[in-house]
Amino acid sequence: MRTSLLIVFMVMAFFFSLSASRDTITPTQPLADGEVLVSAGGTFALGFFTPANTTNRYVGMWFNNVADRRIVWVANRASPVVNSTGLLSITTNGMMVITDQKLKKRAWSVGTAATGLTAPAAQLLETGNFVLEQNGDDSTRSYAWQSFDYPTDTLLAGMKLGLDWITGFSTNLTSWENDIDPSGGAYYVAVDPNTDTYLYTSSGVVVWRSGPWDAINFRSKGLNYKYVNSSQESTFSFQEGDRPMLFVTSATGKAQLFGLSSDAGGQWELAWEEPSTQCNYFGQCGPNGICDASASPMCGCLEGYVPKSPSRWASENWTDGCVRKTGLDCRNGTDGFVVVHQAKMPESAIPTPTPSLAECRLACLRDCSCVAYANDGGRYGCAIWLNDSLWDVVRLDGFDQDLYVRVASSYLDSRVQPHRKKHKKVAILVSLLLGALVLTTACVACVLKKRKTRLRGKIDTKRITKLSTGKSNESTTVDTDIPSFDFATIETATDYFSAANELGQGGFGTVYKGKLSDDQVIAVKRLAATSLQGTDEFKNEVNLIAKLQNVNLVRLLGCCIEGTKERMLIYEYMPNRSLDAFLFDKEKGALLDWGTRYQIIIGIARGLLYLHHDSLFRIIHRDLKASNILLDNCMNPKISDFGMARLFGGDETDFNTRKIVGTYGYMSPEYAMEGIFSLKSDVFSFGVVILEIISGKKNRGENAPSPYLNLVGEAWSLWTTGQCYTLVDESMSKNLSENEVLRCIKIGLFCVQEHPEDRPLMSSVIVMLGADVASLPEPKLPGFAARVGQLDLDKVSKKHDSSTSNELTITLDGR
């Protein structure tokens, strides 16, 4: 009897030991399907799970002892185990892997293999952070990887959503595909450095914008949140309050906040959701419009503005937005402001340190491009908005926020004294007659003497067309609305195009630095008589870039046409010149640390995403390269030189041309060899630029290392042999994230794959830049990696780019 009882006791003890909870896995204690890790305080659990109506198995995390089991994190979201033989384990060299033991297949892995580790382990912390440790000594504990850096669709208390400017690491929330598929879905939430949080579609289209995260603009719904916007980070996070809460990106395209109820067992209750009304969908009323969900119709124009297209507006098509009723008069300082009460702030606020709202008003009036200002909630004093396009203004009941919109003094006069014209009708008629006489005389004088001062007006693009064709070409004319500059004004601004003001030379001609009479610094691109790029490219750039407004595209301020020879483009001045001047210079390259380079990569990607998907037109740049990426005073990248760009119709997938233009080394194989170009051609060029940014080397140069034919070939060879980190520019600090660099190399190689159908769209690239390296697909053989002599360069018309002496800008006629 005693023996029998002893056996029963031992069996019970054995099964009890198996069921006893633990929070850690080690090389000798993996986690099998059916077992569960539980954090030390019992708050979180982690193990294998199966979504409803499927047989797929995933490793996920949920709140322990909560009846409403909501999965808050998934490890292998893109690679399920198809049976119950999955195993989560730690290798002795510090890698964490999920293995399908039946198929002998690795479904997921994280961490970097290392040697000499004392006690690698993975632990589920009480915060819900699942961490991979490379040693077990608490005094020197370090995390090789943590789940808080790789959220899926849910933000937990203590997690940070946003950008780490030091490491260049970004954290987004990507929705599930649907209720039964946790793989990356159609929506993601990301933090913009301008203090807004956005909900995007997977193609990068904005669905919803939070408005600035401050004490005035964001209704926290009881959420103890924190927004940090500094030189180190731009992040949103929250801490636990009276109850656990979850910030979620749903598969249906909503940003949601859930709170745990106090019921027995607990249920997740929806506390907040956006977009909650039609007005809260991004940009419903177009530029300079304001949306009010309680009004009918819901869209109106800001004060001082009128519908751009009255007929469309009347039919409730508000996409064109509104335009100014009366132009501003910055030079004479007569502009004023009207107040919009209870307003959600427009997009792209610029923080402006000022001691008071009155000082903020003066700061706006001093800047001719400022169109509005507001209190920013006490972080800097105020925020201002530049350029005449205020997006996503919404009137919200209960908001104690005022937006001050800049308007012309004549508009203010019409508000205050609406009957002035009736009282002085005769005087006005006389004044009009006298004014007409004076204007006629002035016009004759201008024709005889030529204009000697700067003139702002609307460019006649038919005139530009005639310069290149000798006749009007209605089909190729696009209406633009950019200023025209008098030749004498540009001569004076550039000190008569002095050599001291030369910034550089390119295929178009010479670029000069200039300063206008109002002290605005400009860059002037002057078409050379011997330029291989002619009036067609000039017209193309004017027509295209005038329609584009994005922080990562260079801004065209105007143009100048004098007679039949002089044609100039006037841009905003970029004090740090072009990216190639830094990358390919050893001394200047040392000024670009990894964080800066990573932000340049992100900025270029956003600029291309705008061109390909988010602008009024789909545009292919066709000449993206390091010398066409300009850097402002904060090292923010701006894509320039749209002379080669082409519009792309909504139903078109690619173009075929007999004239191939661009720069050898950046052109995709199908374009260089067959004249076929598409959005994927720009993606190929972007991939080359990524590899150049990482390595500090040109794709094709005099000192290309043997035996590699070019940088793409070198990167591919190093990738396939597991030596890709040797590609990194030696001038960069060694304190950089290997995972971050690995991700960018992988994306770069993914973009330069030989076949265009294998390359991602820019919308996917944006998502990849914030994704886990392990979740990215493996790249295939890149184009031109092992293709010497396939381009017959004897048939190529070559022109050296003076700013990047090893580049060949080519034009091919025929195929």
Catalytic residues: 623
Backbone phi, psi, residue 297, to 5°? -70, 165
Known binding residues = 525
Task: Output the furthest CA–CA distance in the chain (Å, rounded).
Answer: 125
- Which residue in this structure is represented by tokens 């507001």? 374
Contact 708, 782 (CB under 8 A): no
CB atoms under 10 Å from CB of 747, counted, come to 25
Alpha-carbon distance of 682 to 671, in angstroms, equals 10
Sheet of 659-664: strands edge to edge?
659-664, 804-813, 797-801
Structural contact between residues 225 and 148, judged by C-beta atoms closer than 8 angstroms = no
Rounded-to-integer distance, Cα 281 and Cα 1, Å: 75
From the annotation, which residues make up the binding site for ATP? 525
Distances (CA, A) of 407 to 174, 325, 327, 367, 418: 41, 9, 8, 14, 16
Task: Provide the 3-class DSSP secondary structure of residue 576.
Answer: coil
What is the CA angle 603-807-639, rounded to 5?
A: 20
Residue 253 carries which DSSP code?
S
Going across the sheet that includes 509-515, the strands are 502-505, 509-515, 521-527, 566-572, 556-562
Q: Which two tokens stand for residue 187?
A: 């929506």
Closest by CA position to 191, among listed 182, 203, 200: 200
The dihedrals phi and psi of 365, each to the nearest 5 degrees, come to -65, -30
Q: Collect all residues with Cβ–Cβ distance below 8 Å to 419 and sequence separation of at least 6.
A: none
Tokens of 485: 């500059």
Q: How far is CA 96 from CA 14, 274, 701, 725, in A?
A: 27, 36, 41, 21
Per the listing, tokens 């595909």 go with 177
Single out the residue of 641, 553, 635 nearest to residue 596, CA to CA. Answer: 635
> What secondary structure letter does DSSP report for 727?
G
Residue 618: Cβ-neighbour burial (10 angstroms; 0-12, 13-18, 19+): middle
Burial of 397 (0-12, 13-18, 19+ CB in 10 A): exposed
Between strands 393-395 and 289-291, the pairing is parallel
Contacts of 67 (CB under 8 A, 6+ apart): 264, 265, 266, 267
